[in-house]
Structure formats: C-alpha cells, structure tokens
Amino acid sequence: MGYRLRDHEAVRPPSLKQILHEMNQAGKFDVSVLTSTEGLPIAADPTGYDSTLTATTVALLQRASNDTQRQLGATDVDEVTICDHDHTRLVCRYLPVGERELILAVKVPPGCSYRRITNQALRRIRRLLS
C-alpha cells in the first residue's frame, strides 16, 4: 500500500519534505515550510531552518488576512506576500485539503518567479495528502 510499480520495481511516493526540497531547487527558493493554520509546522526544507518560528509567523499572517478579507468583503484569498527592502518575499499560499486548510510558505529571493513552481508543488502535496 502506498507504492506504485514502475518497470517492475516498487517506487515510494514522494514525501512532503521531498516535494518541498524539489520545489526549492526548481525555484531557487531559500526555504519552504508547510504549516497548519494553527501555526504547527508539518514539513520544512531545509531541515535545519527554524520552521516553528516561520509556521507561527505564517499563522499570524493568515489570521490578519482573514480579518482583512472579512472587513473588506473580499472573495477568497489564495496568497499573502510580504516583500522586504531588498525584494525578498515571503509568499504564503493556501491549500485546502479535505476539511483542513494548510499553508505553504516560501522565501523567494529577489527576481525569482514562484507562482508556477508553487502551483505544481501544491498539486503534488494535495495528491499526496488526499
């Protein structure tokens, strides 16, 4: 169970960490964290990064985004981005999985595109968790 056969050998499905790692490599991202909306880290890449602090920060951003969305009567928000003075961005993408909502937070260096690569990672994560 959980294995696929390819060319007569068992192949494990990718782990969340592997998906984040491959996304970081493809996008040249510094760090990525998959977190719950409560601020609990689920997976992170690289491993040594303080994912707890990032997850907590991302949860605070999500709550502020929800409050703003309600006050403005805005439709569903799928992303929140913070950009610092050197144009490094913290991008928080929302991912509904069943009854839960997760957040993919990615630290994007200046001048790097992220939307297509994070979309691909979000699809892979959703398939893995569904």
Per-residue model confidence (pLDDT) at position 10: 55
pTM score: 0.80
Please list the pLDDT of the chain residue by residue as tens digits (130 residues): 454 545 545 566 789 999 999 999 999 998 999 988 888 888 989 876 666 667 677 777 777 777 777 777 777 777 888 899 999 999 999 898 888 889 999 999 999 999 999 999 999 999 999 8
Is the CB of residue 121 less than 8 Å from the CB of residue 102?
A: no
Cα 66 from Cα 71, distance rounded (Å): 9
Tell me the C-alpha distance between 42 and 96, whole Å: 14
DSSP-derived 3-state class of residue 83 = strand
Please state, in angstroms and rounded to a whole number, the distance separating the CA atoms of residues 9 and 121.
25
- pLDDT tens-digit series, residues 15-27: 999 999 999 999 9
Structural domains present in the chain = 15-129 (3.30.450.30)
| Whole-angstrom distance, CA of residue 30 vs CA of residue 115 | 15
